[in-house]
Amino acid sequence: MDWPHDPDGEKGSEGMRKFGHAVIVKKVDEEESFPLDKDAFVDEYGDHPVRMDHETVVSIEEAFEYVDEAEFDDILDFHQAVGDGLRNSPHWQYNPTIGERRSA
């Protein structure tokens, strides 16, 4: 896929390899962005890349297919919903509960 920017570059991960949740949450402002509509967020950032692990990059749109909530009241709601969605997606390979990788 052609990304609007390099997932490992300055726009994607601030010049370092930041992954998943850290990349997504940088796109919101705790004071200005909330309440936040999921569809509006995906419309604006859906084609942006999110690195899930050292091999896998998906779009924000793909990642948000697993986020159940339609609206987020504040940054805490956003963090929790995105975290749950990423962990429930097939793109998440590490399960900290049992400390092993899922097979894709």
Average pLDDT over residues 66-82: 95
Provide mean pLDDT across the span 18-32: 84
Close Cβ partners of 56 (under 8 Å, ≥ 6 residues apart): 91, 93
Averaged pLDDT for residues 73-102 = 80
Q: What is the mean pLDDT of residues 16-29?
A: 80
Average pLDDT over every residue of 33-59: 92
**Sign of dihedral through CA atoms 65, 66, 68, 72?**
negative
Look at the pTM and tell me if it is higher than 0.75. yes
- Sign of the Cα torsion 57, 61, 67, 73 reads positive
Q: Which pairs with CB-CB distance under 8 Å and at least 24 residues apart come from 44-49?
A: 47/3, 47/4, 48/3, 48/4, 48/5, 48/12, 49/3, 49/4, 49/5, 49/6, 49/7, 49/12, 49/23
